[in-house]
């Protein structure tokens, strides 16, 4: 088994061009923050920007954390502070963290819980302060909601009820629970074991992953989520991972003319994590190609385009991927 990229940096992994792109991207992203601390357009502004939601806000804050900015630390400390307060305000007594755009609240809940886990584990928010206590309380409530809404198959779907499941929502809950556990929150082993069982059942013979049971075609974005799910559940050496990684190398590399573009940023986000955690030749093969592609896609304004959820989403995802070699976020480590 190859070691992850955590302690095996490539030569010239971070280039001056990448640093300039990140600096421009972070400045552009900070300028997109709303007065209430959220990211995303105002509700109902247009179909391409479906309103403020905790998913985009949390991803944006993770992009700043990935550069070392946090409450009380760094150039964008106040940006992260306001984003954190917005996410905390969206946490209700049931544990659900949901904002204005909550048609599929478990997506946002997963990203928000991940953000709270990361900030609690890596900053002074883990100390004995009023904010730390608020973060801890919201994080525990959020995890308990994830645990009790796991369905009989072992996965999760759009709404916080244990009815059905799909791989795309399930990965966000697994990552959230992993981050919380890393930060010291107790997570039942049975919850993770059942999630692994569900993800395994979603793998197709070609190594890719279907969207939902009982059947479905493989696509690279959901397959990247499937591989990442196994890693974050603590499965590091397994034929399912080997088969999934092979499928991703065959279908998802930037130089593959047959690669499909739908769910591009979602796919890149989980593909980066899968290749980083795989390490070795997987990371060495994928990273230079992905870095070049993302740098080429940056717009003159410093942002990255996403036609479905707006520039704050595309820019946040691009920045998280490009900053993985900085190795600040604990969630990306084995």
In tens, the pLDDT along 281-305 reads 999 999 999 999 999 999 999 999 9
Tell me the sheet residues that pair with 209: 203
Name the CA dihedral angle for 327, 238, 172, 283, rounded to a multiple of 10 degrees.
30
As a whole number of angstroms, the distance between CA 111 and CA 62 comes to 9
Cα atoms found within 13 Å of the Cα of residue 2, Cβ hemisphere only: 19
Q: What is the DSSP string of 120-162?
A: HHHSGGGSSSHHHHHHHHHHHHHHHHHHHT--TTS-B-SSSSS
Question: Phi, psi (5° rounding) for residue 326?
Answer: -75, -20
Which residue is associated with the tokens 């909601």? 145
Q: Write down the pLDDT at residue 169.
A: 97
Q: Write down the pLDDT at residue 129.
A: 84
Q: Write down the pLDDT at residue 45.
A: 42
Residue 222 CB: number of other CB atoms within 10 A?
A: 24
As a whole number of angstroms, the distance between CA 302 and CA 313 comes to 13
* Helix-helix angle 220-232:239-251, to 10 degrees: 150
In tens, the pLDDT along 39-74 reads 986 444 443 343 458 999 999 999 999 999 999 899
As a whole number of angstroms, the distance between CA 92 and CA 130 comes to 18
C-alpha dist (Å) from residue 273 to 72, 154, 176: 28, 22, 14
Q: Write down the pLDDT at residue 88.
A: 96
Torsion sign (Cα): 119, 36, 30, 46: positive
Question: Phi, psi (5° rounding) for residue 46?
Answer: -165, 170
Q: What is the DSSP string of 186-203?
A: ---HHHHHHHHHHHHHTB
Tell me the sheet residues that pair with 166: 156
Question: Phi, psi (5° rounding) for residue 156?
Answer: -135, 160
Which segments within the chain are labelled E, that is strand? Answer: none
Q: Which residues contact 247 (CB under 8 A, 6 or more apart)?
A: 206, 207, 208, 218, 220, 223
Alpha carbon 194 to its chain's center? 21
Name all domains of the chain by residue range, CATH numbers in brackets: 5-332 (1.50.10.20)
Q: Write down the pLDDT at residue 130.
A: 86
User: What residue ranges of the chain have pLDDT lower than 50?
Assistant: 42-51
- Short-list 331, 307, 61, CA closest to 180: 331
Read off the tokens for 20. 């300039």
Q: Write down the pLDDT at residue 227.
A: 98
Name the CA dihedral angle for 15, 16, 18, 24, rounded to a multiple of 10 degrees.
170
């Amino acid at each position: 088994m190859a070691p992850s990229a955590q302690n095996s940096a490539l030569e010239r992994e971070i280039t001056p061009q990448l640093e300039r792109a990140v600096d421009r991207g972070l400045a552009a992203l900070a300028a997109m923050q709303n007065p209430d601390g959220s990211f995303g357009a105002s509700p109902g502004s247009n179909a391409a920007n479906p309103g403020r939601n905790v998913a985009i806000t949390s991803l944006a804050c993770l992009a700043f954390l990935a550069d070392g900015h946090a409450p009380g630390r760094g150039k964008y400390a106040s940006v992260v502070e306001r984003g954190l307060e917005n996410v905390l305000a969206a946490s209700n007594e049931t544990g659900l963290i949901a904002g204005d755009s909550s048609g599929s609240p478990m997506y946002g809940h997963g990203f928000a819980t991940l953000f709270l886990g990361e900030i609690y584990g890596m900053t002074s928010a883990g100390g004995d302060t009023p904010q730390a206590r608020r973060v801890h309380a919201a994080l525990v409530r959020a995890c308990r909601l994830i645990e009790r809404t796991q369905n009989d198959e072992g996965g999760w779907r759009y709404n916080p009820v244990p009815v059905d499941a799909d791989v795309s929502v399930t990965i966000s809950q697994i990552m959230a629970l992993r981050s919380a556990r890393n930060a010291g929150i107790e997570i039942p082993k049975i919850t993770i074991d059942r999630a692994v069982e569900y993800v395994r059942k979603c793998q197709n013979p070609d190594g890719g992953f279907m969207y939902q049971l009982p059947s479905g075609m493989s696509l690279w974005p959901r397959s990247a989520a499937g591989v990442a799910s196994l890693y974050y559940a603590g499965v590091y050496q397994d034929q399912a991972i080997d088969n999934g990684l092979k499928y991703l190398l065959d279908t998802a590399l930037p130089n593959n003319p047959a690669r499909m573009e739908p769910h591009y940023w979602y796919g890149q986000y989980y593909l980066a994590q899968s290749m980083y955690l795989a390490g070795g030749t997987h990371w060495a093969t994928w990273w230079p190609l992905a870095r070049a592609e993302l740098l080429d896609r940056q717009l003159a304004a410093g942002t990255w385009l996403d036609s479905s959820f707006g520039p704050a989403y595309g820019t946040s995802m691009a920045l998280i991927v490009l900053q993985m070699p900085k190795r600040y976020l604990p969630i990306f480590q084995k």
